[in-house]
Structure 1
Amino acid sequence: MSTPARLADAIAIAEAARPVALAHFRTHLGVEFKSDESPVTIADRGVEAEVRRMIADRFPDHGIFGEEHGIEGEDSDDLWIVDPIDGTRSFITGHPLFGFLLAKLHRGRAELAVVSIPPTGEVFSAEAGQGAFLNGSAIHASGRTDAEGAAVYVNEGEKIWRAHPDVFARLMAFGKTRRLSCDCYPYGLLAMGHVDVVVDYDLQPYDYHPVALLVAEAGGVITDWEGSPLGMGYGVPVVAAATPELHAKALAVIRGQ
């Protein structure tokens, strides 16, 4: 099956997942906490179960790696990565910018990605070498190269402040406009050209692979804090920027150079 057809399937899967999540949004549902203190709800598990069923029906020979149910078929050349609710803390507190993340990797390289924001109806998509889109319309990063006028979003600010207070302090003086943020939506804003830099911390493969392809196909740059490409590591710190020049400046700030 061609990649464009698979992207259409990925978008259809995201659209099917949307009502499953919204059925539980802003309701009084139980919350459990996993061993790493991250919350999980019936919505997380329900969305992932539905997505796994749909992927297995369409691509029975592909592997699936989901946040809640782990990896099946990890030896397959084709692996789907799923974060059923990216931003469970946002979800359980009624914040409407949680997301649904889906990416398909072939031999470790992302071929397509979907970043859906269920409450707003925004569906970001990207295909390797084909660009980035919002609800079917092409989008592009800002092209900004200077740090002085940059809009900088810092995800997981509390974690960065606790683990690297020196980095956090430097980030709070970087750019023109700064916002403490969370989850996947800032990457969509970067891909649309509204935000110039996103700094993030402690991400897993299902957190970063979908947004990484979106940023790259919108013309941006995304790496870990060492400037290395994103692989399949856990607890990865990430920095994304609209251009290579601005990305280099963000890396320098993180490194204290």
Structure 2
Amino acid sequence: MIDAADIALAHQLADAAGAVIRPWFRGGVTVESKGDESPVTAADRAAEAEMRRLIAAARPQDGVIGEEYGDDRPDAARVWVLDPIDGTRAFIAGRPLFGTLIGLMVDGAPVLGVIDQCIIGDRWLGAHGQPTTLNGQPATTRPCAALAAAHIGTTSPHAFTTADLTAFTRVQQAARDTLYGGDCHNYGLVASGHLDAVVEASLKVHDWAALVPVIEGAGGTMTDWAGRRLALGSDGRVIAAATAALAADIQARLA
């Protein structure tokens, strides 16, 4: 399904994106608004363009789905899914909690994922059938089975619809504590056992495709709010949890 060359390419893409992004960080980058009012910068666009160039050279038969430049053969058997800066608001604010997300989907299933934070040097890699690593060392979730003991995260309450926020509030009230902010970095923290779960909504495929192999390879689970595996048609509501028991507890409170 994937091989060492795929993993090497994923690392190459992360290295290239980081090299583009770092000079812009805290450098007064100009901010524009996209059609949905979300922010975008020259760093977002340049990093994705460089990753697309490398994929076209190394894997011309593969498709690409990217946040900034759209879809190129998304129905291919193998599709790279790119979010050059997940957490653009954090990047603009000079907070080193954004990340570059690089996923590979084969026949619609996420099988390879990288979360790369190029400022502080955190890089999680998850690959189907292999344990997740953080900077080359094994990463594992914490064995938390109950929400009452769980440290959970979400990027912002403003990302939820009114109904979804009501459901999330039931989870939050039952959890030990809740961390706001963090974007994709939170999922890496789940994989490394520092957070126990992340609950979010309104995610696009480029937001979650890279995260699934990272979470699952660390011993966790990542599904939609009903417990279904994430796929291209998913509604963007996700749970990443350290254990299946914790995921079930969260699902019951969201229902």
Counting only pairs closer than 5 Å after superposition, residues 148-159 of structure 1 correspond to structure 2 as 148-159=148-159
Displacement after TM superposition at 1:234 (Å): 6.5
Match in the other structure for 1:191:
191
Task: Give the secondary-structure state (helix, strand or coil) at the position aligned to 1:71.
Answer: strand
Where does 1:53-202 land on structure 2 (aligned, <5 Å)? 53-160=53-160, 162-202=162-202
Cα shift at 1:2: 5.6
Residue aligning to 1:215:
215
- The residue type paired with residue 4 of structure 2 is P
Q: How many residues align?
A: 255
1:6 pairs with 2:12: no
Aligned to 2:244: 244
Output aligned runs, 1:28-43, within 5 Å: 28-43=28-43
Greater shift in the superposed pair: 200-209 or 141-150: 141-150
Q: Distance in 2 between matches of 1:2 and 1:147?
A: 35
Q: 1:245 to 1:152 in 2, by over 3 A?
A: same
How far residue 164 of structure 1 moved from its aligned partner, in angstroms, is 3.0
**Cα distance in 2 between the residues matched to 1:207 and 1:20:** 20
The one-character-per-residue Cα deviations of 1:83-116 (angstroms, maximum 9, x if unpaired) are 0000111111111110000011111112211110
CA distance in 2, matches of 1:201, 1:88: 17
TM-score when normalising by structure 1: 0.94
CA contact under 8 A between 2:157 and 2:165: conserved in structure 1? no
Please report how far the alpha carbon of residue 27 of structure 1 lies from its aligned counterpart in structure 2 after TM superposition.
1.4
Give the 3-state SS of the residue equivalent to 1:18 in structure 2: helix
The answer to whether the Cα contact below 8 Å between 1:115 and 1:211 also exists between their aligned partners in 2 is yes
Distance 1:132 1:196 in 2: 16
Give deviations 1:197-218, integer Å, cap 9, x for gaps. Answer: 1111110001001011110111
Taking only the aligned residue pairs, the percentage that are identical comes to 37
Check whether the contact 1:63–1:72 (CA below 8 A) recurs between aligned residues: yes
The CA deviation at 1:73 is 2.0
Counterpart of 2:51 in structure 1 is 51
TM-score of the pair, normalised by structure 2: 0.95
Task: Report the Cα distance in structure 1 between the residues aligned to 2:25 and 2:106, rounded to whole angstroms.
Answer: 33
Bigger mean CA deviation after superposition, 234-243 or 38-47: 234-243
CA distance, structure 2, for counterparts of residue 27 and residue 69 of structure 1: 24
- Report the Cα distance in structure 2 between the residues aligned to 1:161 and 1:61, rounded to whole angstroms: 39
Q: Could you tell me how far apart the structure 2 residues matched to 1:233 and 1:197 are?
A: 23
Letter in 2 for 1:93: A
For 1:155-191, what per-residue CA distance to the aligned partner results, in whole angstroms no more than 9, with x for missing partners?
A: 3322226453422431331221221224101100000
Q: Secondary structure at the match of 2:132?
A: strand
Root-mean-square deviation (Å): 1.6
- In the alignment, the residues of structure 1 paired with residue 247 and residue 107 of structure 2 have an alpha-carbon distance, to the nearest angstrom, of 27
Q: Mark the CA change 1:159 to 1:111 in structure 2 (over 3 Å): closer, same or farther.
A: closer
Relative to 1, partners in 2 of residues 1:113 and 1:25: Cα closer, same or farther, differing over 3 Å? Answer: same
The gaps in structure 2 that reach 5 residues or longer are none
- Deviates further, 207-216 or 233-242: 233-242
Gaps of 5+ in 1: none
